């Protein structure tokens, strides 16, 4: 309590910022921990279903797996009947939605780190102003006159850095986890689009073959009659 009083109102604001930063960090950490970035097994099932032109099975696999990759893939899979441009548009829209959800809270953390440093500087300035005000009133002969103001300046400076440094580290850690998920999404996008193109190519080759088979059967039937 004496420390809070010595720091003044600026220190109180720094403490409140630190509590908010802790709340943001652990909220986002637990949220990211619940997401499933691993998608190798999911992609194996989706790829097999897409090549087999079984969209329902692919979407069921996404529902069972869960996580950002599965949600984006499901949105893209639902648009396969409408062509590749529709699939790419759906993937991009779902990707942006996931990116916004994953990065929520990161910008406030970065802002808190900057503001905490500035508040520490503000506390330093106000502490020095207090010290010089005491000197002007009581003179410089007694060093204890400066103790209050200088103490306030140092406490606020230390508190600002104490909050800013862990907040920057926490922000960097969360940002790296989000970036890994987004990179995985981009990688799976290319894989899905390649399999969609392959499935379409197989279908286009099978249709003329089926048409020729039907024509041959029709000719055979006609000649038999």
pLDDT at 220 over 50: no
Residues in the chain: 225
9-40 residue pLDDT tens: 888 899 999 999 999 999 999 988 888 767 78
Q: How confident is the model at residue 162 (pLDDT cuts 50, 70, 90)?
A: very high
Contact 191, 47 (CB under 8 A): yes
Contact 105, 24 (CB under 8 A): yes
113-152 residue pLDDT tens: 999 999 999 888 888 877 777 666 766 556 665 666 777 7
Q: What is the mean pLDDT of the chain?
A: 80
Residue 118 has a pLDDT of 93
- Percent of the chain exceeding pLDDT 90 equals 26
For residue 187, CA distances in Å to 65, 132, 154 come to: 18, 61, 49
Please give the helix or strand (H or E) that residue 9 lies within, else none: helix 2-34
């Amino acid at each position: 309590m004496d420390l809070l009083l010595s720091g003044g109102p600026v220190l109180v604001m720094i403490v409140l910022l630190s509590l908010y930063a802790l709340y943001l960090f652990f909220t986002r950490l637990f949220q990211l921990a619940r997401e499933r970035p691993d998608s190798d097994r999911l992609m194996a099932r989706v790829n097999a279903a897409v090549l087999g032109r079984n969209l329902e099975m692919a979407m069921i696999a996404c529902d069972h797996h869960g996580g950002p990759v599965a949600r984006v893939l499901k949105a893209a899979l639902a648009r396969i009947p409408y062509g590749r441009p529709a699939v790419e548009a759906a993937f991009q829209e779902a990707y942006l939605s996931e990116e916004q959800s994953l990065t929520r809270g990161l910008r406030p953390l970065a802002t808190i780190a900057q503001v905490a440093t500035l508040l520490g500087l503000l506390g330093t300035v106000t502490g020095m102003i207090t010290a010089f005000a005491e000197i002007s009133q009581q003179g410089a002969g007694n060093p204890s006159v400066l103790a209050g103001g200088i103490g306030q300046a140092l406490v606020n400076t230390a508190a600002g850095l104490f909050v800013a440094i862990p907040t920057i580290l926490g922000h960097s850690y969360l940002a790296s986890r989000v970036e890994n998920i987004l990179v995985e999404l981009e990688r799976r996008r290319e894989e899905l689009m390649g399999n969609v193109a392959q499935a379409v190519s197989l279908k286009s080759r099978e249709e003329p073959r089926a048409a020729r088979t039907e024509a041959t059967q029709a000719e055979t039937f006609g000649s038999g009659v």
